[in-house]
Amino acid sequence: MSKKESPSITSNGNNNKIIQSLLSSKIQELEINLNPNEEKKMKKSVDKHLDDLKQSMENLSAEEKYQLIFEKYSKSFIENKANDQLKIKNEILKNDLQKATQELTKTKEIKVKLETLARELQKRNHDLVEEVKKTSEEEEVKRDLLSSKFNTSISDITNRLEEFNTQREKYNQHVELLQNKLKEYSDQNESREKHYKTILKKKDLETQLLETKLEHIIGVSTVDALKVKVYKEKCESMIEEESKLKKKVEYYEENFEKFQDVISKSNVAFTTFKSEIEKLTKSNKQLDIENKSLTKKNGKHENHIKSLNEQVAKNLKQLETLKSLMATLQKERNDLKSQLNNADNNNSNDLSPNIKNDEISPTEKIENKDKVTTDNNQDVNNNKDDSNNNNDNNNAKNNNENIKKEIRNVDNETTPLSDVD
């Protein structure tokens, strides 16, 4: 505000100097044409007006001083016009009197007639003076009425200007709040994009881990199948050996004592072979159970990945809507800035008038001020629309918070995967 007030103060000082010079020149013109009694009266009235001006300008700002000086100058301008008209009438009357006196000096012979004419002229002059006094009194009354009306209109205008300044301050505060909210929305969008990227990276890593685990399990199952084949072949070979041993036992029944040790050893080998076969069957069952559990987990993870992809698509749609909202808000902010600049330009044009604009009538000035108030009402309506837009933005914010909560719940559900690993 200080930068705007400094040129207005200098312009007010220049205007004050100009007004004082005009007043002094006008007083000198009146002093030349007035009698000494009238000069005294004029001096007294001028002194009173100056004292009133000084008293009224003591506790006022520069703009208010300028307005008060402008009012006083307009009043004096109107009074000077009326006085000029009266002077013209007085000059006409003086010319008539001079002509009458000249005729009296020239025509002494018809003195009686001229005296009667002079008396009639004096009566007429007296009547004219009385009429002039009456008209002057009536004009003074009219001036007082006009000045009172003008003062009331100026007080109304000053009140409207104060209201406009308060509304403009509120409007500036509202614009600052909108700017802060836009910054918050942009920061939130950036943080969301980063969060979504991290989630996608996590899910990609988890899918890669699951794929590697599946490949490892498939490889282990193939190795176990090969081992089973080898053990089956060994079993077949052992069965063949057992049959051969039975034949040998039948062949060597007579020599039982000699071959008893060999038979006991073969029995021990058979029991160990049976235990190994049982272990293999148990391991195969466990592998089947693990394969089934892994297939179930793989299906769950695929469903979970599908749901996450759907949520990501929804979030991307919401991001697009938020971006469109951001674009609309930026457009509205630019419109508001342009409206503010127009309002500031209108204020600067209203507060720095030139002396050439003194010929404008006060009614036109009041109409211009009324136009300014209508513009202010339109700005208030725009502020209401901005508050409605803010409510829509708050609803969008709540939706985004709900989406964040859902993503956190999904992260909590996916954390047991590390325990499975």
Model pLDDT for residues 8-23, shown as the tens digit of each residue: 444 445 555 665 565 5
Q: Is residue 310 part of a domain?
A: yes
**Residue 368 falls inside a structural domain:** no
Q: Which of residues 257 and 414 earns the better pLDDT score? A: 257
384 is a domain residue: yes
Whether residue 319 is contained in a domain is answered as yes
Query: pLDDT: is 406 or 159 the higher one?
Result: 159
148 and 212 co-located in one domain: no
> Tokens 């010319």, residue?
95
Contact status, residue 333 vs residue 393, Cβ threshold 8 Å:
no
Other CB atoms within 10 A of residue 66 CB: 23
Average pLDDT over residues 354-380: 46
- 215 in the same domain as 93: no
Q: What is the pLDDT of residue 398?
A: 61
Does 336 share its domain with 389?
yes
Q: So what's the pLDDT on residue 5?
A: 40
Instruction: Decide which of 159, 185, 212 is a domain's last residue.
Output: 159
Task: Name residue 226's amino acid.
Answer: L
User: The domain containing residue 408 runs over which residues?
Assistant: 197-342+377-415
Are 113 and 259 in the same domain? no
Span 398-411, average pLDDT: 57
Question: Which residue among 130, 159, 188 closes a domain?
Answer: 159
Residue 371 within a domain? no
Query: Comparing 50-59, 185-194, 245-254, 374-383, which segment has the lowest mean pLDDT?
Result: 374-383
* Same domain assignment for residues 236 and 382: yes
Exposed, middle or buried by CB within 10 Å (0-12, 13-18, 19+), for 354? exposed
3-state secondary structure of 362: helix
Total number of domains in the chain = 2
Could you tell me if 123 and 74 lie in one domain?
Answer: yes
- Residue type for position 121: L
What is the residue type of 295? T
Same domain, 220 and 289: yes
With respect to residue 285, please indicate whether it lies within any of the assigned structural domains: yes
Look-up of token digits 């006008």? 26
pLDDT in tens, 288-306: 788 788 778 777 777 877 7
Is residue 94's pLDDT more than 70? yes
Asked whether the predicted pLDDT for residue 357 surpasses 70, the reply is: no
C-alpha pair distances (Å), 212 with each of 206, 207, 223, 256, 304: 10, 9, 17, 59, 18
Residues 101 and 209 in one domain: no
d(CA 9, CA 1): 12
Residue 41 has pLDDT above 60, yes or no: yes
Global pTM value: 0.21
Question: Nearest to residue 302, comparing CAs of 222, 291, 310?
Answer: 310
In a shared domain, residues 321 and 383: yes
Q: What is the pLDDT of residue 103?
A: 74
Tokens of 162: 């104060």
* Inside any domain, residue 67: yes
Residue 313 lies in a domain: yes
Task: Average the pLDDT over 181-186 and give the result.
Answer: 83
Q: How confident is the model at residue 417 (pLDDT cuts 50, 70, 90)?
A: very low
125-145 pLDDT, tens digit each? 888 888 888 888 888 888 888
Where do we find the tokens 């293999």? 280
- The per-residue pLDDT for 403 is 55
Residue where one domain finishes, among candidates 135, 159, 183: 159
Give the phi and the psi of residue 415 in degrees, each rounded to 5.
-65, -35
